Amino acid sequence: MRNSLSLFVVLIGVALIDSASATRLPESASQETQLIKQAKAGNADAFAGLYDIYIDDVYRFILHRVGNKQTAEDLTSQVFLKAWDNLGRYKMQGLPFGAWLFRIARNSVIDHYRTYKDTLPLEAEAMFKPDPKANVVKEVERRLEGEWLQAVLQRLTEDQREVLTLKFINGLKTGEVAKIMGKRQGAIRALQMRALQALADLLGGDHE
C-alpha cells in the first residue's frame, strides 16, 4: 500500500508553488510517459506532475456530474489518491493515462450517488431563462461553467450527463469517450444524440 498521506502533502505543496517557477506540464507524450514510469516506481513528485496535468479536467468532469463544488473537490482528491494507490495496476499499453483517470472519476461519482442520492432543488428551474430559439449545442458551450448547466445536467440520466460532460466540457473525442464509458463509438454517438435531444427539451428550444 502506498503512503497516501505523504502523496497528499506533496500535492498540496505543488498547488502552493508558483507556476512560473515550477511548471510540470510535459512538452510531449514521451515526457508524460516518463512521468508515468517514474510514478509507477514510487516517485511522488512525478505523480504530482501528472496531477498538475489532469487536475482541472478531472475536477471539471466531476463538478458537472455532481453539481456541487465542495463535493467535486472531495471526490477529485479521492480520485487522485485512488490512482496513486492503484498505479501499479495501470498498464501503459492499455488505456491512455487520462482515460484511466476518468474511469476512476466515473466510478467515484457512481459510488457517490449510491451513497448519497442528491435531488435537484425545486428552485433550480429559476436559475436559467434560456432563449427558446437558441441552438442547443451553442447554448451548452456558452454556459459551460455556470451553475445553470450544473443544475440542468442533474435532470438527465447518468449516461446522458456523462457523455455530454466528456464531450462538451472535457472536449474528448468520441473514441476516447467510448473507452472511458466502455461502449462502442456508435453507441456513444447515439447516446450523445439522445442526450442533446433531452437537453433541448429541457431548454425548451429547437434542435436539429
Q: What would the pLDDT profile of 3-44 be if each residue is shown by its tens digit?
A: 444 444 444 444 433 333 333 444 467 888 899 999 999 898
- Whether residue 113 is predicted with pLDDT greater than 90 in this model: the reply is no
Query: Span 45-72, mean pLDDT?
Result: 89
CATH of 119-208, one of 2.40.30.10, 3.40.50.2020, 3.30.70.3340, 1.10.10.10: 1.10.10.10
Residue 117 and residue 1: Cα distance in Å, rounded?
Answer: 31
**pTM, entire model:** 0.61
Cα torsion angle, 99, 101, 103, 105, sign: negative
61 or 117: which leads in pLDDT: 61
The per-residue pLDDT for range 138-177, each reduced to its tens digit, is 555 555 445 666 677 778 888 888 898 888 878 888 888 9
- Whether residue 82 is predicted with pLDDT greater than 50 in this model: the reply is yes
- Whether residue 121 is predicted with pLDDT greater than 60 in this model: the reply is no
Query: Any idea which of 49-63, 117-131, 140-154 has the lowest mean pLDDT?
Result: 117-131
CATH number for the segment(s) 1-118: 1.10.1740.10
Task: Give residue 11's identity as a one-letter amino acid code.
Answer: L
**pLDDT at site 19:** 34
Question: Helices (DSSP H) in the chain: which residue ranges?
Answer: 4-16, 29-40, 44-66, 69-85, 97-115, 136-142, 147-153, 158-164, 174-181, 185-203
* Domain spans, the chain: 1-118, 119-208
